[in-house]
Structure 1
Amino acid sequence: MEERQLKRKEQIPSPKGKLGVLIPGVGGAVSTTFMAGVEAIRRGLAEPIGSLTQMGTIRLGKRDEYRIPRIKDFVPLASLEDLVFGGWDIYEANAYEAASFAKVLQRDHLDPIKDFLETIRPMPAVFDRRFVKNLDGNHVKPGTDLRAHVEAVKEDIARFKEENGLDRCVMIWCGSTEVHLKPEEPHLSLEAFQKAVDANDPRIAPSMLYALAALESGIPYINGAPNLTVDIPALVELAREKHMPIAGKDFKTGQTLMKTILAPGLKARMLGLEGWYSTNILGNRDGLVLDDKDSFKTKEESKLSVLEYILQPQLYPNLYKNYYHKVTINYYPPRGDNKEGWDCIDIFGWLGYPMQIKVDFQCRDSILAAPICLDLVLFTDLAQRIGLHGIQEWLSFYFKSPMHKEGLYPEHDLFIQLMKLKNTLRYLMGEEQITHFGLDYYLGEK
């Protein structure tokens, strides 16, 4: 700690100029809900409910002098007024048409901002149907040369920045879940990865090409899907080389959000777990993509990892060693974006007596994801301006499978994640970190 000087608010570069938000999958339900919501908030038509950056508070100071400002008043984040949206999609519908098709937001929310949404037209996307089998758009970049696709995306970025007079950008993946991949030789070093791109290696996914183009263009990358993308040694190496922040993966919205709330409570009370059965019904485009077994495998791995890390069965074998964990997702078109996550949880307590918890979370997938997108864009831009680069573990709060540094375990407990996020903000702003609210009171200290 002595070798690193604490940052002070006045030492952190203030956000100047416009911030570009580049979105692969800009025509999807999450993206259009995010963009429409930001514009509605900018026009005073709605409130930023669900956004930690806009509504959250942070405790500062000691007991006798503590204050609780809003995070946006404490940390120099970019203003919503300075966000400019653009991106790529395999369908050429503008954002108003895409949002109308997604049917997340009602007409009385969309029509007042129709003029804004109609100006957002997607650039042709990099797409390979081998990685997303249940979609087939025609608004795509021609050919199959991977290096040419990377260069085309970089040209898109440069043109977007110039046309909109942007000072800086952040890229956030809101595209579909790709088929399951495991790290292989082309992913293990930057040199091998670049050679694989030049050789059109089939193990290089489209999401990786976007990440490569972003990082080479000096733009941070956020992975909102469970894809194997920026969490490979090759792109971690590139992020460090380019001094760019990276974060991911897979937005934590519905059922997994509930798991990261409930599982810490079971562990805190030392209640045992026999089994946790989770099923989902979902009818939007994400549900259609996940109806393919290879894309579902990617999502399943992300969802299954949560309990093991929270419950730590190696430390509590009598409570958690042999629990059964099952996750299913079922495509059900009538439900649309209104996902339903149902959990049946078999637990046991004193003397081993069994009990059950049942949760039926009738959520709205994109409504939960949109404020996550906003927070991640603003926090990642902050990291870029401060000079933080590589994996941003302090943003684990927002992800199902948070990226972490080699040799460490990911943190999944939602409340520990939130403490780490706020302590990072306190540290960057030169404030004392908080480990336990009110501890000084109970110890009789001042």
Structure 2
Amino acid sequence: MNNMVTGRRKVGLWLIGARGGIATCVALGLSALRRGLIDSTGLVTALPEFQKLGLVPWGDWVLGGHEIRSTHLLDEAQDFARTNRTFDSEFVESLRSELEDVETRIRPGTVSGASPIITGLTGPEVPKNESPGEAVTRIRDDLESFRRKNELDHVVVVNVASTEPPVDAEKFPTRYDEFEAQLQRSPEGWLPPSALYAIAAMQAGCSYVNFTPSLGCNLPALDELARLQKVAYMGCDGKTGETLLKTVLAPMFRARNLRVLSWVGHNIFGNLDGKILDTPSHKQSKVATKDRVLAEILGYKPATVVTIEYLEDLGDWKTAWDHVHFSGFLGVPMVLQVIWQGCDSILAAPLVLDLARLTERAVRSGHVGLMPFLACFFKSPHGTKEHDFGKQFAQLMSWVDGLIAGGG
């Protein structure tokens, strides 16, 4: 039945990196929520404050995505369960039909402009030597086909692929017409995959969320494109663990006028993203987003060290140890130590679902362009320098309350 007749919204969630750890947990979680197999723990949009917002129910979401590896979503879910001991294989098997259904909507991604370690993961079905223009056209066609075949009112594209090396955004044209002209004539390597996906998404009229530290949508020309296409976008780098703690604890030190002398954060984990981050150029992007929040919150920059180390045996379980050396009254030095241990993809997956829901709601209210009210979900949020988690969440609630009050 036509969505206009039923009055219900049918929305697509398209994941870049569709068989990775985060995407696998998103697929499992979305399927389990529909079946009533799990509760809503971990989902921000399940809080009472969001209940009058008119968010699209889980049963009205259709999942698809792009992937460069030759594997199967069901196999990835079983391997995740076996390796990380998060849930049992029977739970995965109970959702076999849902995972196989999602698998039918996964298309070959692009490695145009990708680094050697990423291209080394590529399956035979992924096009080789694809120009940026060719990649954008193919990805856009996939997204338009997904929306058309599933009769979707809107599609939200979320990048949960592996982190790319840093890119100097200032080297690209700032006007979209100049950017588009250069895109069509440039050879492979001009833009990284995350930006190609963002362009294709916006050209297809889809919103785009960058859950990684990669370049993605962080280009002035793409802000213009988003406004031309009347879509929303936001990034970057989902805030799930150690940085989340920093943005909660640093405001405490500032409010009590305790001077932070040094802050050391060591991170160890062993999933595929960790393996990619073991490459120095890729690690540089991640360290940058984790390290910049303290100076913004404290108003000065203490001595900082951030390390990310890959240990294969840890799987998706990440341990972060933070050592904070600070000075108190009478100049007395003191120490706070915190250990955070969590399953990385399990922490991230509900936030991806939250971001998809809130992005769709923003678009439905007429919002176009950047969504700085979603800053609390990101380590390095675009469009704002506010990193204090409490203030970020207050901004989100202000937006929510405004929508509810205005009936938008």
Shorter chain as normaliser: what TM range?
over 0.9
Secondary structure of the corresponding residue to residue 397 of structure 2 = helix
> Paired residue for 1:21?
13
- Structure 1 residue 15: deviation in Å? 7.2
Of 134, 139, 147, the residue aligned with 1:148 is 134
Give the structure 2 partner of residue 100 of structure 1.
78
Contact 1:186-1:196 within 8 A present in 2 as well: no
Change (3 A) 1:187 1:31: farther
Deviation at 1:147, TM superposition (A): 1.0
Structure 1, 151-160 or 136-145: larger mean CA deviation? 136-145
Residue 285 of structure 1 and its aligned partner are, at CA, apart by 0.4
| Residue in structure 1 matched with residue 338 of structure 2 by the alignment | 359
1:68 corresponds to which residue? none
Task: Flag structure 1 segments of 5+ consecutive residues without an equivalent.
Answer: 1-13, 59-70, 314-320, 433-446
Match runs of 1:302-313 below 5 Å: 302-313=289-300
Quote how far apart the aligned CAs of 1:351 are: 1.1
> Cα gap change, 1:356/1:132 in structure 2, threshold over 3 Å: closer, same or farther?
farther
Match of 1:85 in 2: 63
1:431 positional shift: 6.6
TM-score scaled by structure 2? 0.92
Among 353, 363, 378, the alignment partner of 1:374 is 353
Q: Match for 1:345: what amino acid? A: V
Question: What amino acid sits opposite 1:368 in the alignment?
Answer: L
- Aligned pair 1:42/2:34, yes or no? yes
Bigger share in helix: 2
How far off is 1:129 after superposition?
6.7
Q: Secondary structure at the match of 2:157?
A: strand
CA offsets 1:260-299 (integer angstroms, 9 cap, x no match): 1111111111111110011111100000110011111111
Q: Which residue of structure 2 aligns with residue 435 of structure 1? A: none
User: Could you list the per-position Cα deviations for residues 212-251 of structure 1 after superposition, in whole angstroms to 9, with x for gaps in the alignment?
Assistant: 1110111100000001121110111111121111011000
Answer whether contact 2:195 2:216 (CA < 8 A) is retained. yes
Q: 1:48 to 1:19 in 2, by over 3 A?
A: same
Answer with 1 or 2: which has the greater Rg: 1
The range that moved more, 153-162 or 359-368, is: 153-162
Separation of aligned partners in 1, 2:368 and 2:406:
21
The Cα shift of 1:33 comes to: 0.3
Report how many aligned residue pairs link the two structures.
393
Correspondence 1:116 to 2:98: yes
Aligned amino acid, residue 94 of structure 1: H
Matched, 1:280 2:267: yes
Q: Check conservation: 1:88, 1:124, Cα contact below 8 A.
A: yes
**1:38 & 1:268 partners in 2: Cα distance?**
39
Q: Deviations over 1:20-48 (max 9, x none)?
A: 11111010000110110111111111012
Q: 1:17 is paired with a residue of what secondary structure?
A: coil
Uncovered stretches (5+) of structure 2, i.e. residues with no partner: 1-5
Structure 1 distance, partners of 2:337, 2:263, is: 10
In 2, the alpha carbon distance for the partners of 1:343 and 1:242 equals 43
Q: CA deviation at 1:127?
A: 1.1
How many Å apart are 1:131 and its aligned residue?
Answer: 3.0
Confirm or deny that 1:30 pairs with 2:22. yes
Which whole-Å CA distance do the structure 2 matches of 1:218 and 1:130 have between them? 25
Matches within 5 A, 1:152-231: 152-201=138-187, 202-231=189-218
Distance 1:338 1:192 in 2: 44
Aligned to 2:382: 403
CA distance in 2, matches of 1:352, 1:415: 28
Q: Is the 8 A contact 1:279 1:343 kept in 2?
A: yes
Percent of aligned pairs with the same amino acid: 33
CA positional deviation for 1:198: 1.3
- TM-superposed CA distance for 1:360, in Å, is 1.1
Post-superposition Cα deviations, 1:84-125, rounded to whole Å, max 9, x if no partner, equal: 100011123232112223345431331211111122222111
Q: C-alpha separation between the residues in 1 aligned to 2:45 and 2:116?
A: 33
Is the 8 Å Cα contact of residues 15 and 78 (structure 1) preserved in structure 2? no
Distance change (3 Å), C-alpha of 1:86 and 1:130: closer
Partner AA of 1:110 in structure 2: V
Aligned-pair Cα RMSD in Å? 1.8
Aligned residues of 1:132 and 1:179 also touching (Cα < 8 A): no
Distance (whole Å) between structure 2 residues aligned to residue 337 and residue 141 of structure 1: 29
Conservation of the 8 A alpha-carbon contact between 2:325 and 2:336:
yes
Could you tell me which residue of structure 2 aligns to residue 430 of structure 1? 405
1:125 and 2:109 equivalent? yes
- CA distance in structure 2 between the partners assigned to 1:334 and 1:360 by the alignment: 19
Taking the TM superposition and a 5 Å limit, the aligned residue runs for 1:262-301 are 262-301=249-288
The answer to whether the Cα contact below 8 Å between 1:186 and 1:192 also exists between their aligned partners in 2 is no
